């Protein structure tokens, strides 16, 4: 099974790249997690932010395989505990499809991304910095995966 994290934004600070890579490299070959970066569109004072959100959403959807199960990360999604995320991972494995997790840009995800998503996941009711979301998602996936494997990483 493969999990693809599709995130708007590139040229991340060193600590983000290192933090995300630290967890991504820990996954075994039968549960691969990879990051796909979508270059953000240029924003100016006169930019049409709604159009930018729509265009970035289109680029996100183009980056995923049509057969993948899509999960949108957004504030208004469902909050999952680590145990619930571990249960989701087991469900995803049984489903047989690869997973694409969508992280929008500063304006969030487009309506097209939200509509394509079968699930909506909220990491927190707080609005988090988008670079930090990558690190949190990577760690949360690793922690939940380790729980499914009885790996000692997760302790309650």
pLDDT tens digits, residue range 71-120? 999 999 999 999 999 999 999 999 999 999 999 998 999 999 999 999 99
**pTM for this one?**
0.93
pLDDT tens digits, residue range 35-81? 999 999 999 999 999 999 999 999 999 999 999 999 999 999 999 99
pLDDT tens digits, residue range 121-136? 999 988 888 889 999 9
Q: Any binding-site annotation on 124?
A: yes
Q: Any binding-site annotation on 104?
A: yes
Q: Any binding-site annotation on 85?
A: no
Q: Any binding-site annotation on 128?
A: yes
Kindly provide the b/e burial profile for residues 133-147, where b requires at least 16 CB atoms within 10 angstroms of the residue's own CB. Answer: bbbbbbbbbbbbbbb
What whole-number distance in Å separates Cα of residue 35 and Cα of residue 14?
Answer: 15
Q: Any binding-site annotation on 127?
A: yes
Q: Any binding-site annotation on 102?
A: no
Q: Any binding-site annotation on 123?
A: yes
The confidence score (pLDDT) of residue 154 equals 66
């Amino acid at each position: 099974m493969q999990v693809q994290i599709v995130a708007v934004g590139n040229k991340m600070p060193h600590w983000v790249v290192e933090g995300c890579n630290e967890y991504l490299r820990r996954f075994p070959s039968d549960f691969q997690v990879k990051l796909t970066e979508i270059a953000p569109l240029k924003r100016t004072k006169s930019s049409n932010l709604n159009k930018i959100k729509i265009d970035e959403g289109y680029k996100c959807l183009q980056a995923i395989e049509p057969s993948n199960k899509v999960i949108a990360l957004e504030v208004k999604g469902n909050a999952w505990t680590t145990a619930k995320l571990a249960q989701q991972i087991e469900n995803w494995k049984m489903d047989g499809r690869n997973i694409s997790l969508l992280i929008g840009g500063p304006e969030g995800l487009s309506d097209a991304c939200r509509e394509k998503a079968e699930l909506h996941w909220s990491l927190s009711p707080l609005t988090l910095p988008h670079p930090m979301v990558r690190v949190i998602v990577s760690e949360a996936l690793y922690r939940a995966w380790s729980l499914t494997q009885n790996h000692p990483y997760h302790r309650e």
